[in-house]
Structure 1
Amino acid sequence: MKHIFIGLFLFLNIFSSSAQQSTLSGSIKDTDGTAIPFVSIYIENTTIGTSANVDGIYTLKIQNGTYTIVYKTIGYKALEKNVKITGDTSIDVILQPESYTLAAVNIVGNGEDPAYEVIRQAIKKRKEHLNEVNAFTADVYVKGVQKLVGAPKKLFRKNIQRILDVDTNGKGIIYLSESTSRFSYQRPNLIHEEMVSSKVAGHNSAFSFNKASDLTINFYDNILLENKFSSRGFVSPISDNALRYYRYKLLGTSTDNGETIHKIQIIPRRENDPVFRGLIYIKEDSWHLVNANVFLTKNTGINLLDTLNISQQFLKTDETYMPSSINVQFNGDVIGFKFEGYYVGVYSNYNLQPNFPKKHFNGEVLKINKAVNEKDSLFWLNNRPIPLTTEEQRDYKRKDSIEVVKTSKHYLDSVERESNKIGAFGLITGFTIKKYETRRRYQFEPLYKSILYNTVEGFAIKPAITYTKDLGERRFYDIRAEVRYGFSNKLLTGNISSNYYYRPDKRANISFSAGSGIYDLNNYGSMSQFGNSTNSLFFETNFSKFYKKEFINLGTTRELSNGLQARIKGSYARNTNLKNTSTFKFRDLEDEHFTSNNPFTPDSETPLFPTYEALTITAGLNYTFGQTYITRPNGKFYQPSRYPVIDLTYRKGIKGVLSSDVDYDLVSLEVSQNKISAGLWGYFSFIVGAGKFLNSSQIYYPDAKHFTGNNSLFSLPELPKFLFLDFYLFSTDKEYVEAHFEHNFSGFFTNKVPFLRKLKLEEIVGASYLSQPIKRNYTEFYFGFQRLIFRAAYGFAYDGSKRVNHGFRLSYGF
């Protein structure tokens, strides 16, 4: 037995010696001595490699042995060096500019540039190249750097340099992060990424937001970068209809290891089309894209940025080409904040014939374990493929040192004292008292939300405070208390509500509320509190109608499986009709007058319903097809779905129990999907719902099925909504069908008009439909424009074929 252990020891020692890892490093410059950034360095005939940093410095961890090292980047001749590695080795290289010639290319008789024939061949092969790799795995390193290069000293009286930790000139790195992960892909669009390591400057306990999938740009797709920098994306230079958007110029042809490569300049046919500018490199015969260096400018429709540059290099693997590195650089200027930065991804160790285990692709697109941010400096020294620049090294060191100070009790106590000071401005806008050590927070709602006016209560106040206790790992509970008093009707109400979020990975919570309050007769709401107060006081129009509710509620929600969410809620309430008690207004308009609190009898205060008790149970299932999510140590985060969402709800009014007066059963089904891509034509969204009261033996107005109507100039910005439907008159206790559709052209038309192009307006068209026993075949159509959170639309409303309303509607997305 002793000899076995000795033999095993010798074997392991010999094996470790033979597998000794060393470091190959150096600098890469051009013939003028200027550093060349982001050069790909890899071992010939393998997918083992790295990339130089922005200063042209590289390191490559490599086993001892003899290799051919290839240095390759766009615009320079590839360089091969035979090296023997027996220990740490330094090799500085100089790359020669690539030489392209037109001598080998014949100009066709019609004078068309030879680039067009190359592009036509590449377009013919587009689908084949798009589908030629069915699946792969790769190791991916991602580094993200965001910097401010200029900023105002103060914004809203806040010291910007102090908040963003930049110098007095407003310059400095505001985000620096690195990550390594194992990336899996399977056609047509299945991905799974598992983060191996993560590092964020100044946040040792944080996890990087880097995602390899965010850097996935496939030029064989017709449209690129949808919903990333623009809602409608950009046309690939080798898309099926690329010749309608681009002109091409052959800059030359070169030969690399017997392979003929064409260098082609891509030029927009129209200045403001959503297209790239720059260079692409295409291989003769196979017509693969082998390199790309392209950019977008502000006039192409990119949001918030001035320019976006994408440089992608490819590595020959088997009979195809796979990305070896991608570099995305950007800059911009937003309200005086000038910024720039880059994200770089390095791919290595490709496997094009992976054997994935069952349920490998289960909707989890990224998994981050707790241990990924616990890697020490030695790990990063041995596993970081791109060396840090001097500036990045300083940023890590400085911010890590600052974090030690910022997490100390003395510092937190001083911040707590400073941030918890309450001034007059804070009383108006609201303020929060934080207790860092105990992770507690007290939030006082702003004064402007606590004062209101309506014709039921007159002037009223409703101060509220919310207490939140952070339990760690995104678990918390909160308790909100509110009191409300109307000075005209002399009615005092108050309630308390609480939510306990106990399983963030299951989106699970328990909620409880009890007390009394004044509520809108339409449970979807009619107007905002501010909007109704303004209309009542200045325009003598009291749109919103109210009732009093005394209640106790208990509910819970929880994810049953990926994409399937269940909810159940029990409620007991005593509902009381209210009437107007105030006619006060700032302006007395001759043609306007207040209406009663009963929307069906505007000229008399007729009770809409008697005081009654209601015991109800509501249960629902919500399912998202193809739901994807990110698993982080602090929870599960759903990603926007590419497929519809189905929501099934059952509500039961129970008679006789706890003196309950109601007796009804409502079943409803809703199908919706948001932002369905229409390529260059923008995107559209829809909601279709239907429901029926299976039993309506005893039901009162507050428990009916209500709809999101609108009686005023201002409307809701999001679906589901009606622009002209009355808030209250067409609620139902029977069956109903409603549908909403909206298309956003994302500047497809306005981008072609010089004046409108500068405004960056997005065109919208939409339609809504409602049918129920007292409102058959009601339809609305509208068109308009929106910019950021504001929109203006003009619409028409029809009862059957008869037009019943039309006009402008404005909205804002706060």
Structure 2
Amino acid sequence: MKKCLLYTLLLINAFTFKALGQQYILSGHVTDQRGAPVSFVSVYIRNTTYGTTSNEQGVYKFNLSPGEYDVIYRYVGYKEQIDHITISDHSVLHNVQMEDEVFKLKAVNIVDKRNRDTAASRIMRRVIAKREFYLKEVNTFSCAVYVKGVQKLTGAPKKLLSNGVSKVLDLDSNGRGIFYQSESISNYNYKRPNKVKEITISAREAGISPTFSYNKASDLQANFYNNLFSVPGLSSHAFVSPVAKNAFSFYRYHLEGATVENGHTIDKIKLSARGDGEYSFEGYIYILEGDWRIYSVDVHLTNKVNRLNFVDTMKISQQYIPVEDNTWMPASIQYDYSGDVLGFKFEGYYIAIYNNYKFNVTFPPDFFNGEVMRLDTAANLKTADYWFKNRPIPLTAQETRDYQKKDSILRLEKSKPYLDSLQKHKNRILILPYTVFGFTATSRDNKDSLYVYPFNKTLFYNTVQGLGINLKARLSHTSDDFKTLGIIPNLRYGFADKLFSANIHSYYIYDLFHEGRFFLNFGSDVLDLNNVGTRSLYFNTLSTLLSNNNYVKYYRSDFGDAGFMRELSNGILFTVSLSYANRTQLFNTSYAHIFKSSTKHYTSNNPLAPDTVPANDRSILFPQNQALTLNASVKFTFDQHYITRATGKIYLPSKYPTLTVNYRKAIPGVFGADAGYDFVSADVSQSRIRLGLLGYSSFKLSAGDFLNKKALYFMDYNHFLGNQGLTFDPTYVGSFHFLPFYQFSANSFYFEAHYQHNFAGSLLNHIGFMRKLKLEEVIGANYLTEKNDMNYSELYVGLQRFIFRVDYGISYAGSHKYLQGFRIYYGIR
């Protein structure tokens, strides 16, 4: 009898737990009073943090256990609706018709002499007064985030559609279709003021990756309680929040009216910009009266007013919900955008849904270790059934077809016949791209690749070697665990000096997660006496033949070196190498001219010889010598943030300066080595330091000295990244505009400083016709002092647009003007 009773109780418990674990689907269609679907309505369970939104067609879906629920439906412009729904033992279809929201003025608004809406101003001043409280209200939280992105082409030029573009982008005959969609589910963790960690559980994408994307939950963490609001990639400057402490300098506010939702009074405030409005949003902000907090946001930016990149319009919508103890958090945020590039019209959106908030979370001491995002190794392997059960926003019919079509294409693309055909097609040599960018061939599985350096780096001319050939390629192999072996053979021959050089550079990346690698290099080569770089073979060829400026000075080296690099801990990168070299001075052997009428003469290959010395000068810069050199450096990146993928780390810029300490020692007497010295230096640098609305700054400071110099040769000096000629490379903040390549090279203590500021258009934006050009203003200064040449300085101004830049500057050697003029950059180095 006891056994029978026990079995009965176990059976009852089993059925009970099964019933409790069973979930059913609550779904429906949200429409307005005219029967039209309402897209992206926030739908969530009252007194919980569980919610979703409707899709573009107004369809929503929930997975719910049996029970009774109060379901809230909310969207800007519509009256909030609360429906009581019971889930028993089956799925429920519950359609909703939302009523238009009516905002009524509580009293007649008073407009003062300055045309200010005093009612709206009073409301916003109260909100701004509580801004910092709400910014710091939550110390820690975690939540689940679903991010979805869809990008569509809505039109394309007919001529381009007929040339195969429509097939590549999978468009219809009118140039319409989805060309990219993605979705991800993550656990998002936050600790005030700025520590985040996102763990992506699942991710999926289909189509051609767009120019910009917001696939991370952190990309869509839009907090209007911050004074400045930044959208990654959207603009070179930030925007002022409507509730910023100085918002009244940028906005006018108008009270449209108020309504009552669920016992709360909601004020609707219209935003309009003061001045040209470049840093301001337009649209509406909804305020929870009494609490004076943001209830929802519905604002937009336009390219015409706000000077946006890539898009013509960007709309930002955000919904807040009460979560716990009168704490409100975002339920969803959405970016909608549209644009037109060369006749291709596009539109799209990214939306984030936040669920299951947990506050006052106690994280382990080392949880926030710099890793801001980690992708689970199986994140990209989830099945279609998994996504159907777990995505909170149901796919539209068009999105479902697009996924199915692209999945079918992907399966086809993995077939052997297709891969063989694709490999043959993509490994074709195209003359024009090869000339500038080189040629790449890959194996079918992309584990093996061959890169041949471009033609403009293959054929060269200089006065030391004459016409020459520099054949260079890179071969690499990646194993199944993503370890990579690379070999770079290089053959070089000069027809005038008859010197043949051959060398091999190689590397082995063994630890993708700590930048672990070994490298081994050996052979012979013709090298620049300035080891930090002067002009490329391509630009030196042009300047030599076209203007008789043989700027670069060369020597020959027979060398071998081996080294090791690894991250000791997050933000500390250690590098060490040992090299042996036999160095020989070279002299000019060729004096060819394209323009015979030129009266300008080439200079000696001795960089310290004056210009008056003939080009065939044989003065001794250094005797043939050998050097055994130990190099070591430690790079400290403070508060280093990174993203972890299966293929390794992706490092993100730090908001703090980077410190690099270098030590170089030449060891005399070993293997007949002649050079003997000790050199130490330290560099501090940082790029893109944002200065509010005034753009961003970059700087570099460097200092060093030779502790001893028993036997020091010119190539062992500390050299600087100078510039001679009309073109220059502004991509590195530690470079000069006018500094000669060799004249200021230091064999004693030196100090150099570089500063550059990009105003991001904040000055020229006030000039009407210049505004449309979207130019960015640049100013900067460079400074160098060392024992032999004291107080060299440069000042410059410039204009930049994408990869194009023009600078005008002036330089001084001491108190005397040295050089001045223009420098240009157009993306080729």
Give the match for residue 226 of structure 2.
221
SS in 1 for 2:693: helix
User: Following the alignment from structure 1 to structure 2, what is the Cα–Cα distance between the partners of residues 227 and 813?
Assistant: 23
**1:740, 1:803 → 2: CA distance?**
19
Query: 1:629-708 residue pairs with structure 2 within 5 A?
Result: 629-708=642-721
- For residue 68 of structure 1, what is the aligned residue in structure 2? 70
Matched, 1:747 2:761: yes
Q: 1:105 & 1:137 partners in 2: Cα distance?
A: 44
Q: How does 1:108-507 map to 2 (within 5 A)?
A: 112-113=116-117, 114-151=119-156, 159-167=164-172, 169-201=174-206, 210-225=215-230, 227-299=232-304, 300-317=306-323, 318-422=325-429, 424-425=431-432, 428=435, 430-437=438-445, 439-507=447-515
Residue 99, structure 1, aligned to residue 102, structure 2? yes
Cα distance in 1 for partners of 2:301, 2:736 equals 38
3-state SS, counterpart of residue 351 of structure 1: strand
Residue identity in the other structure for 1:308? M
Aligned-partner Cα distance in 2 for 1:531–1:758: 33
Give the structure 1 partner of residue 33 of structure 2. 31
Show the counterpart of 1:13: 15
Aligned to 2:424, what secondary structure does the other structure show?
Answer: helix
Displaced runs of 4+ in structure 1, greater than 6 A?
Answer: 1-6, 153-158
The reply to whether residue 577 of structure 1 matches residue 570 of structure 2 is no
Counterpart position of 2:823 = 809
Name the CA shift for 1:437/1:133 in 2 (closer, same or farther; >3 Å).
closer
Deviation at 1:255, TM superposition (A): 1.1
Shift of 1:770: 1.0
Counterpart CA distance in 1 for 2:367 and 2:37 is 42
What CA distance in whole angstroms lies between the structure 1 residues aligned with 2:422 and 2:139? Answer: 54
Map of 1:778 onto structure 2: 792
In structure 2, the partner of 1:792 is: 806
Letter in 1 for 2:775: L
Q: 1:733 to 1:95 in 2, by over 3 A?
A: same
Question: 1:310 and 1:653 mapped to 2: Cα distance?
Answer: 60
- Match for 2:141: what amino acid? F
Alignment partners' CA distance in 1, 2:434 and 2:369 = 49
Alpha-carbon separation, structure 1, partners of 2:110 and 2:327:
29
- Displacement of 1:34: 0.8
Instruction: Write the distance in 2 (CA, Å) between the matches of 1:286 and 1:365.
Output: 33
Q: Which runs of 5+ in 2 are unaligned?
A: none
Q: Which amino acid aligns with 1:458?
A: G
Partner AA of 1:794 in structure 2: Y
User: How much has 1:292 moved relative to structure 2?
Assistant: 0.5
Taking the aligned partners of 1:638 and 1:155, their CA distance within structure 2 comes to: 38
State the distance in 2 between where 1:68 and 1:251 align: 30
Q: Secondary structure at the match of 2:417?
A: helix
- Residues 507 and 161 of structure 1, relative CA distance in 2, 3 Å threshold: farther
> For residues 381-402 of structure 1, what are the alpha-carbon distances to aligned partners after superposition, in whole Å with 9 as ceiling and x for unaligned?
2211000011110011111111
TM-score (norm 1): 0.96
SS of the counterpart of 1:462?
Answer: strand
Could you give the per-residue CA deviations for residues 443-502 of structure 1, whole angstroms, max 9, x where no partner exists?
222323211111111111112222121224543222111111111111111111112112
Q: Give the direction of change, closer, same or farther, for the CA distance of 1:720–1:9 in structure 2 (3 Å limit).
A: farther
Aligned to 1:612: 625
Decide whether the 8 Å contact of 2:312 with 2:340 is kept in 1.
Answer: yes
Contact 1:272 1:751 in 2 (8 A): no
Shift of 1:747: 0.4
Distance 1:490 1:15, change over 3 A: same
Q: TM-score, normalised by structure 2?
A: 0.94
Moved more, 385-394 or 150-159: 150-159
Q: Which residue of 1 aligns with 2:86?
A: 84
**Shift in Å, 1:804:** 2.4
Q: Distance between the aligned counterparts of 1:157 and 1:68, measured in 2? A: 54
Q: Which runs of 5+ in 1 are unaligned?
A: none
Letter of the aligned partner of 2:385 in structure 1? L
Q: Distance in 2 between matches of 1:213 and 1:566?
A: 30
Percent of aligned pairs with the same amino acid? 43
Contact between 1:153 and 1:160, CA under 8 Å: does it hold in 2? no
Instruction: Supply the distance in 2 between the matched residues of 1:5 and 1:593 (Cα, whole angstroms).
Output: 106
CA contact (8 A) 1:202 1:402 kept: no
AA aligned to 2:116 is: E
Aligned-pair CA distance for 1:799: 2.8
Question: Structure 1 693/404 Cα, relative in aligned 2: closer, same or farther at 3 Å?
Answer: same
Is the partner of 2:772 in helix, strand or coil?
helix
2:762 alignment partner AA: F
Deviation at 1:11, TM superposition (A): 2.8
CA distance in 2, matches of 1:218, 1:199: 26
Letter aligned with residue 633 of structure 1: A
Give the match's secondary structure for 2:121.
helix
Q: In the alignment, residue 619 of structure 2 is paired with which amino acid?
A: T
Aligned residue in 2 for 1:56: 58
The 1:439/1:157 distance shift into structure 2, 3 A limit, reads farther
Query: Partner of 1:679: helix, strand, or coil?
Result: coil
Output the CA distance in 2 between the equivalents of 1:246 and 1:471: 57
- CA 1:127–1:554: 2 relative to 1, 3 Å: same
Q: Deviations over 1:482-526 (max 9, x none)?
A: 111111111111111112112111111111111111111111111
